[in-house]
Amino acid sequence: MTKILKSNTVGIKEAAEILRCGGLVAFPTETVYGLGANGLSETAVKLIFKAKNRPDNNPLILHVSSLEMASEVAYEIPVIGKKLLEKFWPGPLTLVVKKSDKVPVNVSAGGKTVALRMPDHPIALSLIKEAGFPIAAPSANISGKPSPIEAGDVLSDLDGKIDAVIDGGKCRVGLESTVVDVTQNKVKILRHGAISLEQLAELLDYKPEIDTDKSLIDLHEIKYAPKCSIKLFTLDNAPFIGVKDGIVALSFSPPPSIFSIKLSSLEEYAAKLYSILREADKKNIKILYMEKPSNSGIGAAILDRLQKAESR
C-alpha cells in the first residue's frame, strides 16, 4: 500500500526519512507530480525505473534546493547557465550541464551530463532541504501515460508500487519543465515546457536554438498517450463531432456533447491538459478533438504534447 502523506511538516519529515532509507516518494512540484528517490544512490534510483517501467536509456532530472547542492552534482555550471538560473530558478527550467563524479550512472543514463532543476514549490523545496541531497524525480506516472497533476493521478498509476505520495493538491503549471542544454555555453532547447522560447530569448538577446537532432528526446520522450485517439483541429477547420466524441476548444464555445470543454487561455489549457486526457479515458471517449494552440509562449509546449499524443 502506498501511504498518503499530508503536506505539512510531519508529512515532509516522514517523506524525507523514506528517501533516506532508499524508498520512493511522489511529491508535488509546480509542473507535475515527481516520483522521487535519493538522487545520489544508484540503488534507490533503480527503483524509479522499475516502478515507472521507464526505459533505462532515459536520463532523470535531479531536483535541488540550493545552488550549493547544484554545484556538487555539476562538474561546472557555465556562465550562460548561471545567467538562466539567476532569472528562472526556482522555476520550471531544467539545465543540462556536465556532471560531477557524485552523479550515479543510471541518473545520467550512462552519459557525461546531468539535468538539474530547482522547483518553485514550497513542499518540493522543503522536502529536498529536509532530505539533504538532490532528489531524482521524473514524472510520477507509468511511462507513456499522461503526467500526474494531482495525488489521485499518481495513485491511479502507482498505488502499491511506491512507498508514499505527499498530497499537495493540484499542480499550478500542469506541464513539464523546459529542458535546455548549456554545456556548450550557449542555449539549446531540448524540450519545450513552461518557460517559453520567448522568455529565454528576452533574457539572452537572441533566439535560442531548438534541438533539430530530435533523436535524443524522441527516443526518450513518453508518448503522452491516453487511450482515446486525439485529433487536432484549427478554428477554420472545426470538426463535426459524433455523440461519443469529445471536443476541447479554445477560441469558440464548442457544441454540447458528452465531453465538451471550453478553455479560456493557454495557461488554462496547459494546467488542464493532462487531467482532460485522463478524464476522457474515464468517460470512454473514442475520439477527442482538440483545438491547436498557437505555437508561441506556453502554446509551443502544449502543441508539442498534443502532437505526440496525436501521432502515437
- Site residues for ligand AMP per CB under 6 A: 58-59, 61, 96, 108, 111, 113-115, 138-139, 176, 179, 190-191, 217, 220-221
Q: Which of 139, 178, 183, 275 binds Mg ion (CB under 5 A)?
A: 139
Contact partner, 225, from ligand AMP, Mg ion, none, Cβ < 5-8 Å per class: none
> Which residue in the block uniquely carries the three cell numbers 489549457?
269
The three cell numbers locating residue 27? 511529491
SS3 262: strand
Contact between 29 and Mg ion per CB under 5 A: no
Q: Which stretch, 133-141, 162-170, 180-188, 270-278, contacts Mg ion (CB under 5 A)? A: 133-141
115 close to 61: Cβ distance less than 8 angstroms: yes
Instruction: Give one DSSP letter per residue of 210-224, joined into a string.
Output: E---THHHHHH----
Contact between 177 and Mg ion per CB under 5 A: no
Helix or strand holding residue 45 (H, E): helix 42-52
Cis preceding linkage at 256, omega within 30: no
The three cell numbers locating residue 10? 510531519
Q: Smallest distance from the beta carbon of 74 to ligand AMP, in angstroms?
A: 11
Q: Smallest distance from the beta carbon of 211 to Mg ion, in angstroms?
A: 17
The three cell numbers locating residue 195? 518557460
Q: Which stretch, 8-16, 76-84, 116-124, 135-143, contacts Mg ion (CB under 5 A)? A: 135-143
Q: Smallest distance from the beta carbon of 216 to ligand AMP, in angstroms?
A: 6
Task: Name the DSSP letter for residue 58.
Answer: S
CA atoms within 13 A on the CB side of 209: 11
User: Considering CB under 5 A, how many residues would be counted as binding Mg ion?
Assistant: 2
Contact between 94 and Mg ion per CB under 5 A: no
Contact partner, 306, from Mg ion, ligand AMP, none, Cβ < 5-8 Å per class: none
Rounded to 5°, the CA angle 165-167-170 comes to: 125
Q: Residue 20 or 223: which CB sits closer to ligand AMP?
A: 223
Q: Residue 191 or 292: which CB sits closer to ligand AMP?
A: 191
Q: Smallest distance from the beta carbon of 146 to Mg ion, in angstroms?
A: 10
Q: Residue 250 or 277: which CB sits closer to ligand AMP?
A: 277
Name every residue whose Cβ is closer than 8 Å to that of residue 311 and which is 6 or more positions away in sequence: none
Q: Residue 30 or 176: which CB sits closer to ligand AMP?
A: 176
Q: Residue 65 or 177: which CB sits closer to Mg ion?
A: 177
Using the CB atoms, write b or e for 261-283: b if 16+ within 10 Å: bebeebbebbbbbbbbbbbbbee
> What are the residues binding Mg ion (CB under 5 A)?
138-139
